[in-house]
Amino acid sequence: MSISSDLLEGQVALVTGSSSGIGESVARYLASSGAAVVINYHSEKDEAHKIVEDIKSNGGKAIAIGADVSKEDQVKAMFEQTLQTFGTLHILVNNAGLQKDSAFVDMSLDHWNMVIGINLTGQFLCAREAAKEFLRRGIEPNISKAAGKIICMSSVHQVIPWAGHVNYATSKGGIDMMMRSIAQELAPQKIRVNSIAPGAIKTPINKSAWDTPEAEADLLKLIPSGRVGEVDDIAKAAVWLASDESDYVNGITLFVDGGMTLYPGFRTGG
Ligand code: NAD
pTM of the complete model: 0.98
Give the H/E segment covering residue 149.
strand 148-153
246 lines ligand 1 (CB under 6 A): no
198 strand-pairing partners: 256
Query: Would you say the CB of residue 153 lies under 6 angstroms from ligand 1?
Result: yes
Ligand 1: centre distance to CA 179 (Å): 18
3-state secondary structure of 200: coil
Render pLDDT for 114-162 as a digit per residue (tens, 0 to 9): 999 999 999 999 999 999 999 999 999 999 999 999 999 999 999 999 9
- Alpha-carbon distances, residue 92 vs 7, 39, 74, 149, 150 (angstroms): 16, 11, 16, 6, 5
Which segments of the chain have a pLDDT < 50?
1
Looking at the DSSP bridge assignments, the partners of residue 169 are none
The residues that are catalytic are 168
d(Cα 17, Cα 29) in Å, to the nearest integer? 15
Cα-to-centroid distance, 29 and ligand 1 (Å): 17
Q: CB of 36 closer than 6 A to ligand 1?
A: no
* CB 69 near ligand 1, within 6 Å: yes
**148, 82 in Cβ contact below 8 A?**
no
* pLDDT tens-digit series, residues 73-99: 999 999 999 999 999 999 999 999 999
Distance of CA 37 from the midpoint of ligand 1 (Å): 18
Query: CA angle 162-164-165, nearest 5°?
Result: 60
